[in-house]
Amino acid sequence: MDYGLTELQLEIKEICHKIGEEKMKPVREHYDESGEFPWDIVKVFAEADLFRIAISEEYGGMSGGVMDTVIAVEELSRVDGGIALALAATGLGTYPILLYGSDEQKKKFLPRIASGKSLAAFGLTEAEAGSDAGGIRTTAVLDGNEYILNGTKQWITNGSAAEIYSVIAMTNRAKGARGASAFIVEKGTPGFTFGKKENKMGIRASVTSELVFQDCRIPKENLIAKEGMGFIVAMKTLDFSRPGVAAQALGIAAGALEESVRYSRQRRQFGKSISGFQGVQFMLADMATQVEAARLLVYQAARHIDTGSKDIAKISAMSKLFAADTAMRVTTDAVQIFGGYGYMKEYPVEKMMRDAKITQIYEGTNQIQREVIALCLIKEAASV
């Protein structure tokens, strides 16, 4: 199928395919079982320049767009959505700096991320503020030339593995969402520690942990944009990043489909391959159709964002919603096609089903995506 990919995108796809097959496949079971962070594969990503994709050339990147990132994340997630997340979550943590950072901030932090020396992470969620992003309690108080941060961020992807964190904190709680501000916090800053590392159902190769700020002083220059812009920075970051989650979901679904087709040809019952049974054929056909539809929507969302359009929230949310639901359905059907073997850890589809689930939850649950889509529709209608 010709998706109209550019030369660069075809090259990224080929490189990621090779990394997936040669480097990730042999170790994915190990990282899923152990829950260790795959530093050796992160090094491979860095050597292949994958962390450079979305960063501007002047800061050591390739000046690629969301579509280029989507191609990489999809292809890597076809093999392992958890390992691929080291790259995707670094993108999420980088967007606040990329979109709203000052030139000084970009000069200081982006080259480190582009080279793969430092991973990034995004700190928004808290125990009492998940879907209700405006309800965060972490505070940042200006004291001379420093902000003092206090509070705990929860379920942060790339948690303790990252070195550069974009953190949303309240500078004026009385103003609600308009009182939030975005900051860059570096690992090693006194008063910044990591809480518990989560033991998760899926994406176990990815580290998810708490970020704890106790009188953590950061330079005033680490404020991103202006005070009070934190909520907008967070929302725009999510608009840019959700097609990445969608690409992760798409990759997982595509991987599960491939495994299912292969297995259905090998597995013999009643004297023939199960691929000869219409019940299995219909499942494969539905899975393939859903994967294809998801791919077109994800690519459309990414390309639309890359045009520089301001109206990106709706299509971005749609891509994440549709691809994540597709991933869940397709991986569940993959386990069904594998039957008893699908439920066992010897085959990769049970892991894919576990990995798929998170894509319906993080970076905004799929219920939140529906809310974003509906709000955009209503706003569009009101402006006609």
* Contacting residues toward ligand COS, per CB under 6 A: 122, 124-125, 130-131, 133-134, 177-178, 231-232, 235-236, 238-239, 313, 362-364, 368, 371-372
Q: CB nearer to ligand COS: give 238 or 256.
A: 238
**Shortest Cβ distance from residue 209 to ligand COS (Å)?**
14
6: left (phi over 0), alpha (psi -120 to 50) or beta: beta
**Residues 6 or more apart from 384 whose CB is under 8 A from it?**
none
Beta bridge partners of residue 143, listed in sequence order? 146
Burial class for 382, CB neighbours closer than 10 Å (0-12, 13-18, 19+):
exposed
Q: With H, G, I as helix, E, B as strand and everything else as coil, classify residue 329.
A: helix
Task: From the candidates 146, 163, 363, 380, give the one annotated as an active-site residue.
Answer: 363
Q: CB nearer to ligand COS: give 175 or 217.
A: 175
**Shortest Cβ distance from residue 265 to ligand COS (Å)?**
39
Q: How far apart are the first and last CA of the chain?
A: 38
Q: CB nearer to ligand COS: give 155 or 338.
A: 155
**Shortest Cβ distance from residue 188 to ligand COS (Å)?**
23
Q: CB nearer to ligand COS: give 113 or 256.
A: 113
Pair 137, 130: CB distance under 8 Å: no
Handedness of CA 131, 241, 359, 111 (dihedral sign): negative
Cα–Cα dist 215/209, whole Å: 19
Cα–Cα dist 238/322, whole Å: 16
**Shortest Cβ distance from residue 123 to ligand COS (Å)?**
9
**74 noted as active-site residue:** no
**Shortest Cβ distance from residue 177 to ligand COS (Å)?**
4
Q: CB nearer to ligand COS: give 24 or 321.
A: 321
Strands 120-123 and 164-170: parallel
Beta bridge partners of residue 185, listed in sequence order? 165
Q: Please, how many CA atoms are within 13 Å of residue 189, restricted to the half-sphere of its CB? A: 24
Which sequence positions are flagged as catalytic?
363
